[in-house]
Structure 1
């Protein structure tokens, strides 16, 4: 019976892992415990670091990512997504690349990823916070200073090719 339960759990979790796609963080940013800057900081992600993108909220403003041994949320404006063997600025391509839409359910997400964190015990507070900020988290606002590594790399590669003839 335990074997069947373990097998079922593995089969249910496998598609989630398969959906993760490679990405790059375009500026040093915080990995948050939820989709918004008001959520606790889980880790700092340095500019240019590789992440796995599991999906984004409806509205594509915040994305669920893995970095190192941590899991959390990053604003999509700081992400590039691997598409046709090069990185593209996620907000520009989100309709083309069909990033999975994922929900944020605080209780289950935090139970899966943050059991040992100091702020984990304050579920009621953070559930209220999420309820009052949910509409803001699904609206995308682009920071004009957000770097675009893929475009810069593509441009630099084209210039290098022209120089080499």
Structure 2
């Protein structure tokens, strides 16, 4: 009898800890955004490349919130109001502190301000783009035979449903995946 009670207590404790952990993970850790401004009129993209669809066009001088950048600081995850997307870092000026003049986003500036290196993945896509006309087309933009949303060397050519791909696709973490062959769609 005491073994069952003790086991039941332990299971309830583990279940309770799991609920607390799940609520923490679901809520997510709040990431502080760094204030910034757009240098010029620029497209806010659904991913870190001009291959991704435009979410909205950001007017020059618009106030942004910068949540992080790719590890090489070439593209950053920003928000214009409640709209999230990716912008090339060269079009962002961050505001280092209240009253300070904005400075162009570079790796050194980002590191000095504590702007995190973040990854682009399907979870980001699913969180921010549900309901957009292109939402269901993740593989078109980021699938194994997409035209390199983050960086691409080589080409994909399709004819009569058969696609040939030769070259390398570079992912958001900078890793390179070489894909060759024929895919029939």
Q: 1:56 aligns with which of 69, 79, 83?
A: 69
Summarize the alignment of residues 38-53 of structure 1 with structure 2, pairs less than 5 Å apart. Answer: 38-53=51-66
Cα distance change of structure 1 residues 76 and 127 upon mapping to structure 2, 3 Å threshold: same
Q: Please state if 1:70 is matched with 2:87.
A: no
Answer whether contact 2:37 2:61 (CA < 8 A) is retained.
Answer: yes
Q: Conserved in 1, the CA contact under 8 Å of 2:51 and 2:148?
A: no
More strand by share: 2
TM norm structure 1: 0.70
Aligned length: 133
Gap runs ≥5 in structure 2: 1-15, 153-169, 173-185
Gaps of 5+ in 1: 139-165
Could you say which structure has the larger radius of gyration? 2
Partner of 1:120: 135
User: Of Structure 1 and Structure 2, which has the larger fraction of its residues in helix?
Assistant: 1
Alpha-carbon distance, 1:38 to partner:
1.4
For 1:54-79, what per-residue CA distance to the aligned partner results, in whole angstroms no more than 9, with x for missing partners? Answer: 00001100000011221000010011
Q: Does the C-alpha gap of structure 1 residues 68 and 130 become closer, same or farther in structure 2, counting only changes over 3 Å?
A: farther
Task: Give 1:6 shift.
Answer: 4.4
TM-score between both structures, scaled by the size of structure 2: 0.63
Higher RCO (CA-CA < 8 Å; seq separation 6+): 1
